[in-house]
Amino acid sequence: MEITKKKCSFEEHKETDAIIYCVRCQIYMCNKCENLHSKLFKNHQIFSLDKDIKDIFTGFCNEKEHFQKLDFFCKTHNQLCCAFCISKIKTDNIGNHKDCEVCKIEDVKTEKMSKLKENIKKLEELSNDLQESIDKLKIIFETINESKETIKNDIQKIFTKLRNELNNREDEILLEIENKYNELYFTQDIIKSGEKLPSTIKLSLEKGKLIEKEEDNNNLSSFINNCIIVENSIKDINVINDNIKKCNNSNDIIIKFVPEEEGVNNFIETIKKFGELNIYNKKILGSTSILNNDIDKQNLILYWIKEKTNKDNIKFELIFKMSENGSKGEDFHKSCDNKGPTLTLIKTTKNKIFGGFSPLSWSNIGGNQYDKSNQTFIFSLDLLKKYDMININKLSVKFNSNGPVFGDCDIEIFKNMKQGNSFANSNCNFLSNRNLELTGGKGEYEKFETEELEVYRVIY
């Protein structure tokens, strides 16, 4: 922070920075004035200006351009102030306390004095553990900083991966362009070899005419080789002409990079919105044994419920735990009936975790009674998958003397809640035909043993 500079109060030194302030004289002094002042006045209280002058009490208001004595006290802000501070006309830096409860400093002296002894005692008590508190604060800060750096490193890894993939894709497309143009047209090697071709052809022609007139029957291999040279020269010329013809035939072909400008702009907008920081509550479901402090899965459930209900500030209250409250259907209804929206978590002995959310209250009214809501859903936390109702006109939640039941027995907990079924057939409300992903089973239904079951009241 930049230190506020004050100039010497002596007129002749008014352009020189002050180094001290004298409380008794109420003046700022430069080095020369300070030497003389210290000789004349041995007992005056002075402050060094090697730190921000706002930390020094001068008896004058620190507000810019005020230059007034602190004759008043603002009870609203527990702060000394000057006449400008309480001015009824409020302009820049003036009248900031015009609407506050203000009194003269003499009127608050008795009140401050009466609290001073109490505050000194309190300060002494607090100061005893101050160093320990500071040390704890340092440890907490280090932990917080480590967490911050971990998140930053994770973000950098993700964006480095994105950049690498983008660079790799760029290289792939550039290589593809090279291959496509070579395939449709020709390579630069054709030009380089073609530039040498006229002189080579000239020599081939001369040699061909020579051997035609003077056939050397005594050196047949040399004769055949010269003939091959002439033939290859014809091929080389044909390569040039064929490529010209190939290019002429390719005039109707257009090579274009997609996406075009609109696609690029859309991609850039996507990148700008990529990623977000979410602040998670570590204790969304409290000390749940089923999720065992798995914050990501707890927040996933919270997101699903927010998405379905369009509600914010959702809280959860554990109202039933099978291992503590009993394993009978009546135990469940005793704790969970008429409690409004609820979240049910189920863990099987095969370590499958699934459950359901319903905005409707549970009730034990006997028989196979049904109710429905299109906000109801079931889910698998092993697959991180939510199942909405296949048909909202079908019944979604079943109320009877069993434990919690979702849909037409998509999830069914029996009266002995240690036993359950998951059905998947044409009558189901959530799970499609032959779909038993919740329990990992096969066929139309799968029995399971319940290891733990928890029900949370969902509070909007």
pLDDT 10s per residue in the chain (460 long)?
A: 445 578 899 999 989 998 888 877 888 899 999 989 988 888 887 878 776 555 567 677 877 667 678 899 999 999 999 988 988 877 776 888 888 999 999 999 988 988 898 889 888 888 888 888 888 889 988 988 998 898 899 999 999 999 999 999 999 999 998 888 888 777 777 777 777 778 778 877 877 777 766 655 557 777 777 788 888 888 888 888 888 887 777 667 777 777 777 888 888 888 888 887 766 666 788 877 899 878 889 989 999 999 999 998 899 999 999 999 999 999 999 999 999 999 999 999 999 999 999 999 998 866 566 778 889 999 999 999 999 888 766 666 666 788 999 887 889 999 999 999 888 766 677 877 667 888 877 767 889 999 999 999 999 8
pTM for the predicted model, two decimal places: 0.48
Bond preceding residue 259 cis, omega within 30 of 0: yes
pLDDT at 6: 81
pLDDT at 184: 77
Residue 423's nearest CA partner among 387, 392, 454, 457 is 387
Distance, CA of 402 to CA of 385 (rounded, Å): 26
pLDDT at 2: 46
Cα separation values, 309 from 312, 315, 398, 441, 459, Å: 9, 13, 20, 31, 12
Contacts of 107 (CB under 8 A, 6+ apart): 73
Contact 329, 314 (CB under 8 A): no
The pair of structure tokens assigned to 21 is 């302030």
Distance, CA of 401 to CA of 366 (rounded, Å): 6
Contacts of 413 (CB under 8 A, 6+ apart): 329, 332, 346, 402, 403, 404, 405, 419, 420, 450, 453
Distance, CA of 448 to CA of 416 (rounded, Å): 12
pLDDT at 198: 83
pLDDT at 279: 67
Contact 97, 76 (CB under 8 A): yes
- Helix and strand totals (H; E) in the chain: 9, 17
